[in-house]
Structure formats: C-alpha cells, structure tokens
Chain A
Amino acid sequence: MNALTPARNWADYGYAALIVLAGCLTWQLYHGYLDYYEQGILLGSAAGLIWLGWFWKPMRWYFPLTALLALAAIGLYQGELARGQSAFWLKYILSSQSAVMWMCVLFFLAMFVYWLGLFKRSATALRVATGLTWAAAVMAMTSKLVRWYESYLIGADIGHIPVSNLYEVFILFCLITALMYLYYEAKFQARSMGAFVLPIICAAVAFIIWYTFDRQAHEIQPLIPALQSWWMKIHVPANFVGYGAFAIAAMLGIAWLLASPKAIQPATRKGLLLGSLAVFALTLLAHLNAASLASDPNNLTGVGFAAKFGYSIAGLLLVAANRGRLQHVFPKPDMLEEVSYQAIAVGFLFFTIATVLGAMWAADAWGGYWSWDPKETWALIVWLNYATWLHIRLVKGWRGEVLAWWSVVGLFITTFAFIGVNMFLSGLHSYGGL
C-alpha cells in the first residue's frame, strides 16, 4: 500500500458512495438548470467533499448530518416560505434564521465553556466546549443550506448561493473559522486553543446579531447583475478560508505571546497596564462623544469601527503586559507557533487562489483583471503582508515574538481589507457595504 494513500476502510468508501449518489441525484434533477461551469463546480464539489471526508474523518458525519437537517427543513417547508413562521421545527430550529440564532448562542456558550476549562483546568469542560463548537458549526452549515433553498422559495429568479452580501459572508466566516479550528484542535490535541480562537468567532457573531436586529440585513436580497456569475460560488468561499485561517493565526499569536515565558520588568508591566487603561479610556471617551454628536447613523458605523480598533489596541497592550502568564496552560508554546504557521500557510494558499479567481471574475465583469480598485489593492496588500511573513519565517528562520505580533497586525490589515474597504473607501467592489 502506498504511503500517500493510507488504508481506506468501509466507512471511507461508504461515505464516498453517499456523496457520489447525492451528486448523481443532483445532476439528474438539476443539470438542465446548470451551465457548463456550474456542472463543473458540482463535479468539483463532489470530489472536494470526498477528499475532505477522507482527509479529516469527522467530515464523514458532518456533511451528511447537515445535509439531512437541510433536507428535513426543505421537506417541512413544503414549498411555502410562510411555513417558516408556523411549522414548529422550522420556526424554532431549522429555518435558516433560527439556525443562525442557534449558531450564535452555541458559539457564545462554547467560548465561555472554553474559558471555564482554561481557568479551572478542566478537561471535561474543554471537551464539552469542543462539542458545543461542533454543534454551532452544524447549525451554521445547516443555516447556509436552508437559506439557499429559502432564496428560491422567494422567487425562482431571486434564488442564489448565500455568499452574496456582508451578512451572509459573516456566517460563512464563522463556519469556516470554526471548522478549521476544530481540525487543528484535533490534530494537535490542544483544546485550550479554543479559548483564544472562539473570541474572534464570537466577535463576528456579535456583528451578525447587531446586523440582524439593527439593520435587518438578514433579509434575502436578489442579486444585482454584476454578482450573477458562477465565479461567486468559488471566489467568495476561497477568500473566507483565507480570512478564517489568518484570524486563527492571529489569535494563536496572542496565545503564544501569553504562553511563552518572558521576564518583564515590573515597571514595564505597570507602564503597559497604564497605557492599556489610558488607551481604553480615551477611546471610550471619544467613542461616546462621537456617538452623541453624530446625527447620521451611517457615520456612526465608521465611528464604531474606529473605536473597536482603539479597544483592540488597549487589549493588545494588556497582552503585552501579561506576557508569559499562561505558561502553565500551554507547556509547549512552540505548538501554538506551529499551528499559527500552518494556518497562515493554508490561508496564504487559499487567499492566493481567491485573488486569482477574483481577477479572472473581474476580467469578465469589469473589463480588466486588475483595475487597482480599492478592494483589489487591499487584497494585494494583505497578500504582500503574509508573503513577507512567510519569507521571514522560512528563509530568515525567525520564530516567536516578532512573528506572533506580526500575525496579530496581519489580522488588522485583513480586517480592513474585509470590512474597512467597504465602509471607508468606494470602488467597484461595493457589494458588501454596511
């Protein structure tokens, strides 16, 4: 047996057969509605799902389970969107919005239980937290699938894959980040990492909740002509594998900073703590002041964004003041460093793919593969940033402190490319506006 393809068991083949069956069924039912590219995507997705299931065993139950839940929801809908408000299972669990709400709750619960496990050093709590994260990931995937179906219930011409606006991609971000994290958690047997990764997911979840209740962003909108393309199906998810991976790398960078031993002068520590407090207080003051002055709610989002930047800086100063405090939790901080590197490597690959796909789509939609549009340019900046990071690590052989801080800075750059560009800069890529 070749080492490249480890022994497969009946479960592997059973899973593959299931995917092939589902693929064939989909083909038979819908191939008339798909153009060549979409038929290619269907084929590629089937192959990708099989590969994922073989590569990482839990996917062998994850995908069938989410498909089953989605099918149950579709069955319950009976072709009528209104049943989402009346049928019990849809109303409380399986309609896409209910599933999203469950996802939100489960992610928050998972975060708190991870923290509990971290501070109480309870392996049981950590196991429970992992379970909660899995449950949240199941709900997230189910919500995506059901939302896809619901969009067709609104109108045949409105139906589209739910990755078309900021609300939908935030759920995608939570989903992909959680799954990637769960993979690394299992691979490195280090559940405490969740205490650091879950907060970034929960930040996204908090945004989703605000976006739903304050802006009604959860309503399904039809696609404008520029987005009516099969490119969207692959460009957007590839991008979010990148974003998710960079987010994980940054959070583990923080974990590494807290875990790797470092002696800090008490005076320095005090200074950093005071600095953190000062930055926090100033930002809060400026935030409240600006919030009371701003009359236009649109300005307010920009203010909130800038304020969050201030709070994050305060948080990072706090991290700097507490270097080495978590030595006992991660006896081998090198492992965090390794995961962080692997995440950036996978993120870089997917971000490269996504940017290339984006360029090819732009060539079809905007008349040029590169227009120096703000979104494109910021994608380039993100790419250059991680290219430099990887060069320094792989060629210069640097490790540790600088790279850990850098991965955190990288997340700021990525976040700006992801949301900031849409909020502060105008351009062609204006679909994800707040």
Chain B
Amino acid sequence: MTQASRHLPFRRALFDLLSSMRFAISLLTILAIASIIGTVLKQNEPYVNYRVEFGEFWFSIFQPLGLFDVYHASWFLVILTFLVVSTSLCIWRHWPGVVRDFKGYREKASLNSLRLISHHAEQAKRLETSAVESYLQREGYRYKIRHEGDTTLLAAKKGSWQKLGYLFAHLAIVVICIGGLMDGNLPLKLLETFGLKAPEVRDIPQSQIPAISRLESNNLSFRGNVTLSEGSSASVVFLNAGNGYFVQELPFALKLKKFHIEHYSTGMPKLFASDIDVLDLQSGKVIQSGTVKVNHPLIVDGVAIYQASFGDGGSGLEFMQWDLASGKTSPLNTRSQTNQALTLAGRKYQLEVGDLRPFNIEDLGKPAEGSTSAVAVDKLQERLASAQAVTSSKNLRNLGPMVQFKLRDDTGQAVEYQNYMTPFFENGASYFVTGIRREVSAPFSFVRIPLDSDNQIASFIRLRQTLLDSSLHAEIARRTAAKAQAGGGVSAQSQAQFAEVTQTVLSQFAQGGLPAIDRFLAEKVPDDKRQAVAQTYLKVLQGAVIDAMDVATGRAGLPQLPMNEANYRFLMDSLVATSQLFDYGSPIILQLNGFNEVKASGFQLTRSPGKNVVYLGSLLLILGVFCMFYIRENRLWVHLSEQGTLLAMSSNRKTPDLDREFARHQQQLLGQKPTEQESDA
C-alpha cells in the first residue's frame, strides 16, 4: 500500500501480526481443529494397542507427531503459547484505550460533533444546569461539567464496566493458561528432553526402580495413581508417561483401612468409599484419618486424594477340587489374582486366579408371560402403559459370589472359567453354575450341574462316572431292557435286542455326549428315518439314565433314589450337563466353598497449585463475558448554550433499547414528544 507500511520494521510488523484479530481468529480455529484429533484418537493407551490398530507403518508416523498424547505434544503447546502471546499483545494494544474510555467523559466534544451523533435532539430553551444535574443523578449517571464562555457541557456516562469486560475476558485467557501451565507436566518434559529423567518401561517392583524414573516429593504438580488392598499402604504413586511410567514420591504414606461398596436394589453401584489413614513418613504416626468418596476427595498437605477405582485386592479363596475322572475331591486354598502350578492327570497346568466378585446382580429378563398375544393393539397398549410409568418390574437376582480363573495347560492354551459359589435356583431345582470360554472376547457359555439333596455335586459326579464307564454299560442296559419288558414296552423276544441298542446308545454317549450320538446317527441311519430313530435313542437314553443312577448309588452303597418328578428332572439335567462337560477343557471342577474378601481401592493423588489460578481466571472470564454483553455503556451529553439545549446519546451497541431510552430522556428532559427517530441502521 503506502510506503510507510512497506518500510515497517520487522519487530513492528511481527507485533501487528501477533496482535491482529485475523491471527487470533486463525489460532482459535486451529486450536479447535487440533483438539478434535485427541477426541477421535484414544489418548494415552499402551503403545501396543496403537501398533495393533494402525500397523507398524502408521505407528511410526503417528508416534513422533505426538498423536497419542496430543494435548501434551510440543506442537500443541506451541499453539497454546501463541494464543497466550496473541491475547497478551491484544490486551497490551487496547489497554490504554480502554483505560481512557473507562476514565474519560469525552467532555471536550464540540457542538458539531454532538450533532453528528444519530441520537440527538435540540430545543431553543436553555435548561438550568442544576436541573440537568439532578436528573442525571436520578438516572444513575456519573458526569463531568465543562464551562466554556457561557456554554456548559454536561458529559455523563453509565455502564463503564462494559469496557472493563473486554479486559477481564482476555486477561482471563492468559490467567487460565498460566494456571494450566503450572499444573502441566512441562518441567518434567524438559527434564526428559535433557535426559535427566526417563520413564521406566519394565514391570519391576517399585523399590527397584532407579532414581532416573523417580520424582521427588517436592515436585510442584503431579497426577498419579496407586491401588491399595485393604490393610496395605504406599508412599508413592505412578504417573503414566507414554510407553512407561514414573514413580512419584509422596510427602506421606497412604494406608487403606477398609473399602466400602454399596449397591442399589437394581445392582447399580451406590457408594464407593475408602477409609484411609495418612501416615507420617518417618514416624509412621497417623497425621490424618478420613473417608474418601467419589465427589468427596480428602486434601492433605496440598495433595488431593481421590477415589478413582476399586477391585479385588487378593482375597483368600477356598476351593473344593473335584477330579472329574476319579470323582475324588481335595481342597485347594489360594488367593485371587495369583498364579499357581497344578499337576492334573499327569499334566502340568497353571491356575491363574482372577478377581473375586462377591456381588452379582443380574437382570434375568422379564418373567415369562402366560399368553403372548401378537395382536398389534395389545402390543401398543402394553407399550403405552410402559411409557406411562417411570418404573418397570424387573427380574433382578443376586447370583452371589463369583470367581474367574484361567487354567493354562503345558502348551500355553488357556480356558477361562467363571464359577458361582451359591446354588442357582430355578423352578425348585438348584444348580452349580460354571461358565466357560476359550476366547477373551467370547461370551461365557454356562454349564448347569444339578445339585443333590445335600446341595452337593457328588451325586452328579457319581452318575457321570457310571455313565462314562463302559464296563458298566452292559449292566445298565440289562436293567433297562428288563424294566422295559416288565412294563410291557418290549416283548420278551426283543429284550436282548433292546439291551443291545441301549448299550450302543450308552457307549456312543460315553464317547462324546449327545453330539456323539448325533454323529453316529448321521453316519448310520438314512436321512428319512433319522428323526424317528433319534427320538427312540433319546427315549432309550432317558430310560437308561435311571438305571445308571441305580447302579451308581448301588456301587456307592447308598439307598436307591426314589423316582419322582424332582429326581427325574435331576437325571435329565445330569444328562445334559454330562454331555456339556465333554467340552469343558479341564479335568477338574473347582467349586468355591468359602472366601475371605480383601478389597482394593484405586486412588488418584494430585497436587495442582494452578487450580486456584485457573478458578480465578474462570471467574474473570465469566465476569468479563457478562460485562461485555449485558452492561450497556451509555453516554449522554447535554449541551447548554444561548442557542438552547442539545441532548445527544450514544451507546456501545445500537439496539432498540437505545432508541427507547433516548426517547425517554428526550421526553423527561426536554419535554419533547419523541420523534420517530429510527437509527440509521
């Protein structure tokens, strides 16, 4: 443009650029877009997860760009720094003008300049200065009087805070960013850059972690986590850092006395609370005791202690170990979250015990309705009725304590189990429930083992052994056939043949349960007859299992099971369970008999000296935004001279309110009827 602008010194040009509105707006936009990245890409995950998700190629590009921790990446901090610089310069630039506006009354305005203001009115009669003064006071205006010759100018204003709003709001951004910086991990990043500190990537005991990965307790700000089981204590927390972690020393030791968890009747958690002691590092004396709850942190020595998570802290577990092959039992005592070597049936196994969950409320679905009318109107009415009520009946049940564990064989293959301690009741019968899955992502498939009158699985185990013992099949088949003949189901001639069929069915079943019988049928029986034969086989099997039970109780020297509906159901359930157990993948069943619960509580400990700075900034921001939008700065001039009186009014924003207010002043001060003075806009 002009010569002057071309020869602008570089520093001046830079100042102009950085403090310009265009630059500020660009920064706001860039910041918004950069922020999106971190919300789309999950942040601070272990690097392995990213490698799996994106592949090695993209990982090698994303990682140096800091995309896995965008908000602490150097380029992001640079944007924030520019925002602070730009805002600061903007304040610097406008500061003098704002102060001038805030202080000044513009009492030097000339008559002509006042006439150029769109809201002005004149009259020939000169008003008394005192009358104007008292009017301005009444209206809440502050004013200044300037006499020049025989003219008098009263320059008044109201709502000057509007101008301060600008300062507040922009200062707030700077203050908030400074507060954020105080709490950020910039110092740690710098130490890392210069190689003075480095995160630990190995999984080793805390005491062995070298000093280079340890942070002193006088660290200004930190945010770390630690998990404690009941009764244990810690004097460090762990800080996540990219691929590894730092150990932050605490100025005190934290001890978890007890963790409480409460549930609503729906099974939703209602309360997480930890009773803690804060101990002196040297003497071990209790400095402070308290309860930390979600939303109710405890602040000790500038360090806030938060309830962050909870879990099992290594509970004592008493298992009964049922050997499926021999039916023998032996106790097994262990702790949750530990591993243990086992030798089962001559093979080495690793038992990896997971978490104990003492409380498992499940919604077992709506109770089955007697009639299921498919008529649309009924459905609609049902929906409407349900929409009308704020509650609905749910079939909630506490399934009791449950433990998860894995059994890993010597080839490294693991099968995961989920066993419930208390019997599961359904329609008067009770079951031991064990879930099994071979892949972590798969849902558990459950085996329900019927319990006998002593609420034990002993009867089932005996029956299963008998059913699978091929040496007993002939005896079972004989009894079944004899019973069938006695009942008139088969003739005496075909009794032998019936026994033979029964034995075949039993031996097939013993090889692989119901699927084995299916396979056998598919091989031997033509398609068109298969359905009928399958029905017959099933009936034969159902009959044989009664005799198998008799054989089993006989061998164990126990009284015969009387045949009633409940016991018949027991047998049928046993048949299904036996069939399912072929796929169990474990030579034993671990039945939880008792436990001694030890809970664990996860704490987050933070020291954030910048918090109150940020809050101050936030307050300034709200105040500033409020002042800018909701305080109107009105200026009023009353010019008194021999020619008469001139009233002029201006505001920071031309709104209908200004029109109305000017009209009011015009009427009350000059006694004029307001003219239809629309603003020029």
Contact = CB atoms under 8 A, between A and B. Distances in A.
Interface string A371-386: 0101001101100110
A367 B304 contact: yes
B2 to A, nearest CB: 22
A220 B294 contact: no
A387 B31 CA distance: 12
Interface stretch (A94-102, A105-113, A118-126, A195-203): A94-102
Interface stretch (A21-29, A221-229, A251-259): A221-229
- The secondary-structure label for the interface of chain A is helix
A157 B272 CA distance: 15
B447 to A, nearest CB: 27
A216 B383 CA distance: 9
Contact of A155 (B138, B180, B265, B295): B265
A338 B622 contact: no
Interface stretch (A61-69, A171-179, A348-356): A348-356
B40 interface: yes
Interface residues of A, number: 70
Nearest to A385: B32
Interface in A72-100: 81, 84-85, 91, 95-98
B28 A387 contact: yes
Identify the interface centre among B28, B391, B681: most chain A CB within 10 Å of its CB.
Answer: B391
Interface stretch (A283-291, A300-308, A358-366): A358-366
A256 to B, nearest CB: 15
B146 interface: no
Interface in B12-41: 21, 24-25, 28-29, 31-32, 35-36, 38-40
Interface in A210-259: 212-213, 216, 218-222, 224-226, 228-229, 231
B391 A220 contact: yes
Interface stretch (A263-271, A272-280, A321-329, A388-396): A388-396
A224 B389 CA distance: 22
Contacts of B630: 349
A370 interface: yes
Contacts of A231: 295
B293 interface: yes
A217 B352 CA distance: 40
Contacts of A84: 388-390
Identify the interface centre among B31, B297, B389, B622: most chain A CB within 10 Å of its CB.
Answer: B389
Nearest to A351: B625
Interface in B228-276: 264-266, 268-272
A219 B385 CA distance: 12
Contacts of A363: 611
B29 A367 contact: no
Contacts of B389: 84-85, 97, 219
Given A154-B391, A364-B296, A352 B622 contact: yes
B589 to A, nearest CB: 34
Interface string B593-610: 000000000001110100
B647 interface: no
B140 A366 contact: no
Given A221-B266, A348-B625, A352-B625, A426 B25 contact: no
B25 A391 contact: yes
A368 interface: yes
Contact of B35 (A97, A157, A380): A380
A158 interface: yes
A425 interface: yes
A345 interface: yes
B174 interface: no
Identify the interface centre among A95, A374, A396: most chain B CB within 10 Å of its CB.
Answer: A374
A334 interface: yes
Given A225-B269, A388-B25, A364 B297 contact: yes
Nearest to A84: B389
Nearest to A3: B139
A395 B390 CA distance: 50
Contacts of A101: 387-388
Given A97-B388, A220-B391, A372 B306 contact: no
A381 B35 contact: yes
A21 B452 CA distance: 67
B584 interface: no
B665 to A, nearest CB: 9
B614 A369 contact: yes
B283 interface: no
A231 B296 CA distance: 12
A359 B618 contact: yes
B306 A366 contact: yes
B392 interface: yes
A98 B629 CA distance: 39
A392 B25 contact: yes
A396 to B, nearest CB: 6
Contacts of B319: none
Given A219-B391, A388-B28, A225 B295 contact: yes
Given A220-B391, A224-B269, A377 B295 contact: no
A378 B71 CA distance: 13
B264 A222 contact: yes
B655 interface: yes
A395 B629 CA distance: 13
Contacts of B140: 2-4
Contacts of A364: 295-297
Contacts of A381: 32, 35-36
A367 B297 contact: yes
A225 B270 contact: yes
A75 to B, nearest CB: 18
Interface string A142-173: 00000100110011011000000000000000
Contacts of B63: none
B197 interface: no
Interface in B92-126: none
Interface in B127-173: 138-140
A229 B391 contact: no
Given A84-B389, A352-B625, A378 B294 contact: no
A367 B390 contact: no
Contact of A370 (B138, B180, B268, B383): B180
Contacts of B387: 97, 101, 212-213, 216, 218
A252 B516 CA distance: 71
Nearest to B614: A369
B308 interface: yes
A426 B44 CA distance: 13
B36 A367 contact: no
A158 B270 CA distance: 9
Given A220-B390, A368-B606, A377-B38, A225 B304 contact: no
B43 interface: yes
B264 A158 contact: yes
B223 interface: yes
A222 B394 CA distance: 14
Contacts of B293: 225
Contacts of A228: 294-295
Interface of B: 21, 24-25, 28-29, 31-32, 35-36, 38-40, 42-43, 70-71, 138-140, 180, 183, 223, 264-266, 268-272, 293-297, 304, 306, 308, 383, 385-392, 604-606, 608, 611, 614-615, 618-619, 621-622, 625-626, 629-630, 655, 661, 681
29 contacts: A2-B138, A2-B139, A3-B140, A4-B140, A97-B389, A157-B264, A157-B270, A212-B387, A213-B387, A216-B387, A225-B272, A226-B294, A226-B295, A228-B295, A349-B622, A356-B618, A364-B295, A366-B604, A368-B608, A369-B611, A370-B180, A374-B39, A377-B35, A378-B39, A381-B32, A384-B29, A388-B28, A391-B24, A426-B42
The 10 closest A-B pairs by CB, nearest first: A225-B294, A367-B306, A367-B604, A374-B39, A356-B618, A345-B629, A384-B32, A372-B71, A222-B264, A229-B295
Given A226-B295, A381-B32, 12 more contacts: A3-B140, A81-B391, A155-B265, A222-B266, A224-B269, A225-B271, A231-B295, A349-B625, A360-B615, A367-B606, A391-B21, A425-B39
